[in-house]
């Protein structure tokens, strides 16, 4: 099939590479300009560079809604558009243009986690698995019929970075497998159950701020979700920003005011967290590694030389 690809960053790069390695003919690539957004500088392999290296024409757009791009697409005469990690709305006259419509590849198990940063949100929320979905695009966000979907389990110590590497390896089989079904003439696919849909917004630095009223289990997942190279989870100690790089849920239960620097347990320093909604009792978050405002990274036990005091949500 003749394919036009809309894509950005490493997800788009992997998709384009899979298409170039397949039997399909990539006739045009549309990608975004580089961004300075903290999350968009991560996993930023260039789709444009890969296309140009392989002799594929490239168009760069923030939004795909101008007449010039529409004419380029008509001239390309695609059988299908494949989109992966395209960051702005694609209008119906674009996604309906190809003979087979537009296949969108999304890094979640739709209908859950439509929108942005699904791996991070899924990890924070304690989901047991994540995955990749290829679905037909319609005029509702990430809501079209599912053509192919694959899942991987979330391990007890997995970080968002681990989940990225697990799911990015699913891009090729999900995308090329879905295109194979479409090319074979199949047109009926799995309807999404919209009663199970959930939507999440783009992550910002503010979303990494630790709220010590959260249960310790939730905070431990937040720390894993904000793993390098993502912006780290952070709090404040004596008015200074402190990044929390690693933590575990305490072995014991430590009651008291959330945020209190309380006890040394193993290699960690226990901070009292909020009460678990199921038990009504507090657990501690044992912080094991931190980074200071001046960039020093060190074990928490070396940073907290004395117990007492508080970690706070504000300076």
Q: What number of CA atoms fall less than 13 Å from residue 37's CA on the CB side? A: 13
Same domain membership, residue 232 and residue 165:
no
Same domain membership, residue 150 and residue 130:
yes
Same domain membership, residue 145 and residue 25:
yes
Same domain membership, residue 163 and residue 14:
yes
Q: What is the mean pLDDT of residues 62-84?
A: 97
Same domain membership, residue 303 and residue 228:
yes
Residue 268 maps to which CATH number? Answer: 3.10.25.10
Same domain membership, residue 142 and residue 212:
no
Same domain membership, residue 242 and residue 224:
yes
pLDDT band at 40 (very low <50, low <70, confident <90, very high): low
Overall number of domains in the chain: 2
Q: How confident is the model at residue 38, as a pLDDT?
A: 65
Residue 63 maps to which CATH number? Answer: 3.40.50.170
Percentage of residues of the chain with pLDDT beyond 70: 97
> Is the pLDDT score of 132 beyond 80?
yes
Of 200, 219, 245, the one marking the end of a domain is 200
Same domain membership, residue 60 and residue 147:
yes
Same domain membership, residue 176 and residue 219:
no
Query: Read out DSSP for 106-133?
Result: ESS-TTTTEES-HHHHHHHTT-SEEEEE
Asked if 94 contacts 74 with a C-beta cutoff of 8 angstroms, the reply is no
Q: How confident is the model at residue 215, as a pLDDT?
A: 93
**What per-residue string of b and e applies to 256-287 under the rule 16 or more CB within 10 Å gives b?**
eebbbbbbebeebbbbbbbbbeeeeebbbbbb
Asked if 212 contacts 242 with a C-beta cutoff of 8 angstroms, the reply is no
Asked if 26 contacts 3 with a C-beta cutoff of 8 angstroms, the reply is yes
The residue to which tokens 């575990």 are assigned: 248
Same domain membership, residue 118 and residue 173:
yes
Domain of 7, in residue numbers = 2-200
Q: How confident is the model at residue 277, as a pLDDT?
A: 66
> Is the pLDDT score of 145 beyond 90?
yes
Same domain membership, residue 38 and residue 165:
yes
Same domain membership, residue 218 and residue 193:
no
Of 181, 200, 219, the one marking the end of a domain is 200
> Is the pLDDT score of 233 beyond 70?
yes
Of 179, 200, 221, the one marking the end of a domain is 200
Asked if 269 contacts 260 with a C-beta cutoff of 8 angstroms, the reply is no
């Amino acid at each position: 099939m003749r394919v036009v690809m809309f894509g950005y960053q490493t997800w788009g790069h992997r998709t384009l590479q899979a298409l170039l390695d397949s039997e399909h003919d990539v006739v045009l690539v549309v990608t975004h300009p580089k961004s300075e957004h903290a999350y968009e500088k991560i996993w930023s392999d260039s789709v444009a560079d890969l296309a140009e290296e392989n002799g594929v024409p490239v168009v760069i757009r923030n939004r795909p809604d101008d007449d010039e791009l529409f004419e380029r697409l008509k001239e390309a005469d695609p059988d299908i558009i494949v989109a992966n990690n395209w960051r702005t709305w694609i209008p119906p006259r674009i996604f309906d243009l190809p003979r087979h419509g537009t296949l969108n590849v999304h890094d979640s198990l739709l209908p859950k986690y439509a929108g942005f940063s699904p791996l991070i949100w899924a990890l924070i929320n304690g989901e047991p698995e994540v995955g990749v979905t290829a679905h037909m695009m319609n005029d509702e966000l990430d809501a079209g019929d599912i053509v192919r979907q694959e899942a991987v389990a979330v391990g007890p110590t997995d970080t968002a970075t681990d989940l990225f590497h697990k799911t990015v390896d699913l891009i090729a089989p999900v995308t090329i497998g879905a295109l194979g079904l479409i090319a074979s003439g199949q047109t009926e696919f799995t309807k999404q159950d919209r009663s199970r849909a959930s939507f999440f917004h783009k992550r910002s630095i503010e979303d990494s701020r630790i709220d010590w009223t959260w249960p310790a289990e939730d905070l431990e997942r937040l720390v894993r979700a904000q793993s390098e190279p993502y912006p780290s989870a952070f709090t404040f100690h004596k008015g200074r920003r402190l990044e929390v790089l690693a933590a575990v849920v305490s072995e014991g239960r430590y009651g008291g005011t959330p945020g209190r620097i309380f006890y040394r347990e193993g290699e960690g320093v226990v901070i009292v967290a909020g009460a678990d909604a199921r038990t009504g009792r507090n657990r501690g978050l044992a912080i094991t590694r931190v980074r200071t405002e001046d960039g020093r990274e060190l074990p928490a036990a070396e940073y907290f030389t004395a117990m007492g005091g508080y970690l706070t949500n504000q300076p």
